[in-house]
């Protein structure tokens, strides 16, 4: 599985060091399922239980799973971990995650165009 790597500006700080190298990976079917389950909340409305999935929470859960590592720390990360990042680094990870997703979508579309029809 291909890993996209880049460096954070401010780094992910632990008790002993600041880590800057990030590796992002392609999301799997299991990642999507796990993120949706984590983002699902049950609310009671008119005495009925309803399941609701927050798009914002699902996006954050997917990002947590897409981070393969930061320095020597292996993912998946948690939203609590993401909160420790400087806003510039958080934005960078989001943007790089989007770029990776777009590259994968373009590669899939290209394969479809060059592969012909069935």
Give the pLDDT confidence of 38-93 residue by residue, as tens digits.
999 988 999 999 988 899 999 999 999 999 999 999 999 999 999 999 999 999 99
With 0-12 CB in 10 A as exposed, 13-18 as middle and 19+ as buried, what is 64? buried
**H-helix or E-strand spanning residue 9:** strand 3-13
| Residue ranges per structural domain of the chain | 3-108
pTM over 0.85: no
């Amino acid at each position: 599985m291909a890993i996209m790597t880049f460096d954070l500006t401010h780094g992910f700080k632990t008790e002993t060091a600041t880590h800057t190298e990030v590796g992002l990976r392609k999301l799997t079917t299991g990642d999507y399922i796990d993120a949706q389950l984590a983002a699902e909340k049950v609310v009671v409305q008119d005495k009925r239980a309803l399941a609701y999935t927050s798009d914002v929470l699902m996006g954050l859960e997917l990002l947590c799973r897409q981070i393969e590592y930061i320095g020597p720390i292996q993912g998946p990360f948690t939203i609590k971990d993401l909160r420790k990042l400087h806003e510039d680094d958080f934005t960078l990870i989001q943007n790089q995650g989007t770029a990776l997703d777009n590259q994968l979508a373009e590669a899939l579309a290209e394969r479809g165009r060059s592969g012909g029809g069935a």
